[in-house]
Amino acid sequence: MHLVAVLALDGVIGLELTGACQIFAAATGRTDGERLYEVRVCGDRGGTSVRAYDRPVFRAEAPYDLTAALTAETVIVPASVEPSQDVVELVREAHRRGARIASICTGAFVLAAAGVLDGRRATTHWDHTAKLARRYPAVEVVTDALYIDEGEVLTSAGVTAGLDLCLHLVRRDHGLAVAGAVARRLVMAPHRDGGQAQYVPAPVVTGNDSLAPLQDWMTAHLAEPLTLAAVAAQASMSTRTLSRRFRAQTGTTPLQWLINQRLHRARELLETTDLGIDQIAAATGFGSAVVLRQHFTRVLSTTPTRYRRTFAPPARGDIRPRGGGSGEV
């Protein structure tokens, strides 16, 4: 099993600690039900103060000391703006040994102090992005992301964005179906679109401005060649008003949101059907395999065919990759 170490740093937010453990522990094989990750909580032997928001609520003792994290394949670093030098050195050494390092909320400060974010994009809670940028100028701080995936180094925004990041890691390791099963088991969204802009304090808007009915309509019409004008007409808004309200509520544009939904659907079809790539492109509104490939490569850094080879289970008794249709795209 893939070994995940979650650091129980003093003053850790309880949800960041236990939420990360819950997501990885809930991931099981699609056919055999075996657990896919071994989770170890690593901390100081003297015990850890666990917080809820800004106040301590109880103390806990981790079953493994911090050095046990050095054998892990993935190390999760919850929030800590002022990390100890021992923790900084541990993260630096784990990274040097080839571990995948992921931070939750202000855990990005630990990664930055260890130097593993130098020259990389990174994010943290919106209330701390300016501080991270000032303190570590070698880091390219992204202020509006829920999480940033830089390969073997990942960072996320506050608390629940860390859960999004952990679920993203499951999805990256084992595919959409496994991650979707975890999300259903934990009753959480399998993917949240947009960035932190939707959570930054803003003037209170009166009335019901929910875009949920419109998003449901867009999802039901993924295969159609929807334009911004067509979506705005469905919402009985001008394109300018629609774009403004969409960004305010989701942190992204209507068409980018639509592209993301189409990509999610394409991934589901690649994993669960034998439809050809052209058929999937048509069914998801991309129109052609070429356009599907362009968006797939830009967002997922792989092609639809390679994705299918990685994540679609072979047919019973068949060890060959599944898939059919238009070949390598």
Per-residue tokens: 6? 């979650």
pTM score, two decimals?
Answer: 0.71
What's the pLDDT score for residue 30?
A: 74
Give the domain CATH number at 326.
1.10.10.60
For residues 107 and 141, state if they share a domain: yes
The structure tokens 């974010």 sit at: 117
Quote the DSSP letter at residue 196: G
Quote the DSSP letter at residue 75: E
**Stretch (H or E) spanning 58:** strand 55-60
The structure tokens 């937010």 sit at: 13
What's the pLDDT score for residue 205?
A: 38
Dist CA 46 CA 59 (whole Å): 10
For residues 237 and 300, state if they share a domain: yes
For residue 65, is it within any domain?
yes
Give me the number of domains the chain comprises.
Answer: 2
**Stretch (H or E) spanning 166:** helix 160-174
The answer to whether residues 17 and 78 touch, using CB atoms and an 8 Å cutoff, is yes
User: Would you tell me how many other CB atoms lie within 10 Å of the CB of residue 247?
Assistant: 18
Beta strands in 111-173 (DSSP E): 121-122, 140-141, 147-149, 153-156
Judged by DSSP in three states, 131 sits in helix
For residues 325 and 246, state if they share a domain: yes
Last residue of a domain, one of 186, 221, 237: 186
The structure tokens 């070698």 sit at: 138
Antiparallel, parallel or unpaired: β 2-8 and 140-141: unpaired
What's the pLDDT score for residue 206?
A: 39
Range of the domain at 65: 2-186
For residues 250 and 110, state if they share a domain: no
For residues 17 and 113, state if they share a domain: yes
**Stretch (H or E) spanning 176:** helix 176-186
Quote the DSSP letter at residue 159: T
Residue 284 phi/psi, 5-degree rounding, is -110, 5
User: Would you tell me how many other CB atoms lie within 10 Å of the CB of residue 206?
Assistant: 6
Q: Which amino acid is at 159?
A: V
What's the pLDDT score for residue 32?
A: 78
Quote the DSSP letter at residue 37: E
The answer to whether residues 14 and 49 touch, using CB atoms and an 8 Å cutoff, is no
Antiparallel, parallel or unpaired: β 48-52 and 55-60: antiparallel
For residue 196, is it within any domain?
no
For residues 207 and 287, state if they share a domain: yes
Residue 55 phi/psi, 5-degree rounding, is -135, 145
For residues 7 and 44, state if they share a domain: yes
For residues 143 and 221, state if they share a domain: no
For residue 218, is it within any domain?
yes
For residue 120, is it within any domain?
yes
For residues 44 and 136, state if they share a domain: yes
Dist CA 83 CA 79 (whole Å): 9
Strand order in the sheet with 2-8: 64-65, 37-43, 2-8, 74-77, 100-103, 153-156, 147-149
Last residue of a domain, one of 129, 158, 186: 186
Per-residue tokens: 201? 């304090």
Query: Residue 201: CB partners within 8 Å, gap ≥ 6?
Result: none
Within 13 Å, how many C-alpha atoms sit on residue 46's CB side? 4
For residue 17, is it within any domain?
yes
For residues 77 and 133, state if they share a domain: yes
For residues 7 and 70, state if they share a domain: yes
For residue 191, is it within any domain?
no
Give the domain CATH number at 135.
3.40.50.880
The answer to whether residues 305 and 268 touch, using CB atoms and an 8 Å cutoff, is no
What's the pLDDT score for residue 255?
A: 93
Closest by CA to 76, choosing from 179, 175, 3, 184, is: 3
For residues 103 and 14, state if they share a domain: yes
pLDDT one digit per residue (tens) for the chain, 329 residues: 899 999 998 889 998 999 999 999 999 987 778 999 999 999 987 788 888 888 888 888 999 999 999 999 999 999 886 888 999 999 999 999 999 999 999 999 999 999 999 999 999 998 999 999 999 999 999 988 889 999 999 999 988 899 999 999 999 999 988 998 999 999 888 877 666 755 666 443 334 457 889 999 999 999 999 999 999 999 999 999 999 998 887 778 999 999 989 998 998 899 889 999 999 999 999 999 999 999 988 887 788 998 888 776 655 444 433 333 333 33
What's the pLDDT score for residue 252?
A: 83
What's the pLDDT score for residue 194?
A: 61
For residue 99, is it within any domain?
yes
For residue 225, is it within any domain?
yes
Judged by DSSP in three states, 42 sits in strand
